[in-house]
Chain A
Amino acid sequence: MSDLANTPLSDTPALDRTGSVGSAPRVRFPVLRAALRVQRAEVVALVVLAVGITVYVGLAMAFLHRSLSPGETLAAAIASAIFFLVPVLVGISIFGPSCTSEYRTPTVRLLWTQGVSRTRWILAKLAVAGIAVAAVTSGLVFLSNWWLGDLARTHAPRPLGVGIANAPTGLEEAHFALAGPVFVAYALFSLALATFLGTLIRRKAWPAIAAAVVYIGVLSFVGAGLRPHYMAPARETGVSAYTGMLPTGSMGVASGWAPRGSTRMLPYTHHLASLEWNCSQSAAGPSTPPNSIRTYFGVIPAGSQVWQQLLQGSGISTHALIACMRNHGFTYIATYQPPSRYWAFEGIESGILLALAAVLVLAAVFRVRRMNA
């Protein structure tokens, strides 16, 4: 302790105070504490965000959910949008930059010359960020489940245009990413993505912009391209398939006409369309249904689902139509993922996203280990 022997000793109160600090026993997990300290502002921002969302959803539920007013529809739409933005906010705009902003400033030369290797330092910062993100988004999952469940109980019919599922455990696209553990996985994935891009692009705003673009791409691709195919879909045939009467909370995969006895759906060719038209005519009896129906929303072409629903109203029996097509050798098939697979799907998708996040973290570490400061 005599390294500073030349500096005159003074007996200011500060000396006594600092002297006792210096002789304090070493704390546990010093590097994690350091990583937390340098990201303190981001942790505070995250907590403020979470509290804000909780208050908003609480107020919206307390004051608006008694009626399906336009006000509530708007409030629910806003809440829905906020939940979609949370992974982007926490991963890409709060913690991604805090893990990588030092790489574009001289500060990196301070931090990388302490007694912590650069690998350990980025992993410590990611651990702090990851724990904070996982904790807060897990809390928000409970909030969104509560909110969605309450909405479902209050309004058994789905509020049109809001994009929220009826049941708290549905596989509908909008609901799926908001309510389960996959929400946490998306947030962690966005953190890893933003961190990797931050090590790749050592500029101010560009990593976040690139991460947002990639994130939206991955979200859409996983939702539309992968999710329907995690498990072999269940199948429904005949009238219930034709009218789309699948179990509530199901995720439709595909539907169409198939040759009788086969499960391979055929492309909706002109031949099939005219056959369906003829069957619907015969099922409707002598009165000829209109070729197209003009409504307030525009012209509804023959053969579309809305057109079929309108024809049902005009007295055409779907049963008769299906029977007629059956006689011609065709069955209507709809494949779907039943809601009972909700938790399996949440697990599979979370696993995919966490695996991607792990790969991105490894890539970020690889980049950091090769970086010149």
Chain B
Amino acid sequence: MTDVLTADALGKRFRFTWALRDCSLSLPAGRVIALVGPNGAGKSTFLRMAAGLVRPTTGTIDVLGHNPFNQSGSEAARVGYLDQERPLLRNFTAEAMVTLAAQMNPRFDMAAALRYLCDVRIPLANSIGKLSVGQRAQVALALVVGKRPELLILDEPLDGLDPLARHDLMTHLMGHVAGSSATVLFSSHLVSELEPVCDYLVVLSASRVQLVGDIDVLAATHRNLIGPRWSGEPLAGVAAVIHEDTTERQSTLVVRTDGELDTRGWQVVEPTLDDIVLAYLREQRPGTSGTRRRSRHDAIDNPPSRSAHV
């Protein structure tokens, strides 16, 4: 499988703060990729660099075989980007927005976009300023999907929408993906929101990539271990202790495995995707009261975060 996006030591600094730092990863084509991380983790910055809107401060990014910053029109036509703020031209009607997108994108499927907007009951003759937040999100998504891009980049597409609008939006998006070979890269700060649809995961936190991988592989190689107090001795079959939660009597570990686990004395539980993501995210925060923290690097032979495929 070829890579749809490759980043190498990618970093972006805004004045004095790094929004994203030392990000190296490859994302395979044809997948639905979730980019997860807390607010301010650098998700939007990463996606804007992928869409060619922001110039990297360090490193390189390659999208569909070209540098996205200052890309040509034909290169840009292959990538669909939906901004977090879902910008539209306020005094345009929905129909005029679709016409404009068709004029600006040679492969635009105007009929499909308008059909979708009719199906979700968007009043086409109303100006965008008069539509609700959910309706605007539908219009914005119809414009991006109508480009029939090879890579769809969606920044927090479900943020601020009611459950019905989320469902409609996701159904539309997944229906499109099912009928094409497009890759989808979308971000969220909620894992549960993306879990049902995505099959590849990138965890971003504190301006750095924490985890990259196929969700099935991640699920198969991560385990929760609950057992007596653990004092840091090596565990057979454990490549890395991602997160450790130790009280007086017992330890709860989230570990990455690299072989047959020696389960003596430990209760093994399959973690949910949420558990895994939270374990990686927690490691990036300074200690909170009540738990003893140990950097996963203590027991790690090679840190998983920087390698492309876990």
Interface residues of chain A, those whose CB is within 8 Å of chain B, are: 1-10, 12, 14-15, 18-19, 21-23, 26-27, 30-31, 33-34, 37-38, 41, 105-120, 369-370, 372-373
Contacts and interface: CB of A to CB of B under 8 A. Distances in A.
A21 B124 contact: no
| Interface-central residue, A2, A14, A18, A31, by most chain B CB under 10 Å | A18
A109 B83 contact: yes
18 contacts: A3-B145, A3-B148, A6-B174, A18-B115, A21-B110, A22-B111, A22-B114, A108-B53, A109-B51, A109-B53, A110-B140, A110-B143, A113-B52, A113-B76, A115-B77, A115-B107, A115-B108, A372-B55
B118 interface: yes
B87 A1 contact: no
B282 interface: no
B91 interface: yes
Nearest to B120: A7
A284 to B, nearest CB: 75
Nearest to A30: B103
Contacts of B115: 4, 7, 9, 15, 18-19
Contacts of A9: 115
B103 A1 contact: no
B124 A14 contact: yes
Nearest to A17: B114
Nearest to B96: A37
Given A1-B111, A4-B145, A114-B73, 18 more contacts: A3-B148, A4-B116, A5-B175, A14-B118, A18-B118, A21-B114, A31-B104, A34-B104, A38-B100, A110-B87, A112-B52, A112-B76, A113-B51, A114-B76, A115-B107, A116-B104, A117-B72, A369-B70
Contacts of A8: 119
A117 B73 contact: yes
Contacts of A23: 111
Nearest to A114: B104
Contacts of B145: 3-4
A64 to B, nearest CB: 40
Contacts of B110: 18, 21-22
B93 to A, nearest CB: 11
Contacts of A31: 103-104
A118 B109 CA distance: 22
Nearest to B145: A3
A278 B52 CA distance: 79
Nearest to B45: A372
Contacts of B172: 4, 6-7
| Interface-central residue, B48, B76, B103, B171, by most chain A CB under 10 Å | B103
Interface in B17-46: none
A10 to B, nearest CB: 6
B74 interface: yes
B87 A109 contact: yes
List the 5 shortest-distance A-B pairs measured between CB atoms, nearest first: A22-B111, A115-B77, A6-B175, A18-B114, A114-B104
B145 to A, nearest CB: 7
Contacts of B96: 37
A37 B105 contact: no
Interface stretch (B176-184, B192-200, B272-280, B294-302): B176-184
B111 A38 contact: no
Contact of A19 (B51, B111, B171): B111
A216 B77 CA distance: 42
Nearest to A105: B87
A372 B71 CA distance: 13
Interface string B106-138: 111111101110110000100000000000000
Contacts of B180: 3
A117 B52 CA distance: 10
A118 B70 contact: yes
A8 B178 CA distance: 15
B54 interface: yes
Nearest to B175: A6
Contacts of B73: 114-117, 120
B79 interface: yes
A130 to B, nearest CB: 19
B89 interface: yes
Given A3-B176, A7-B172, A115 B105 contact: yes
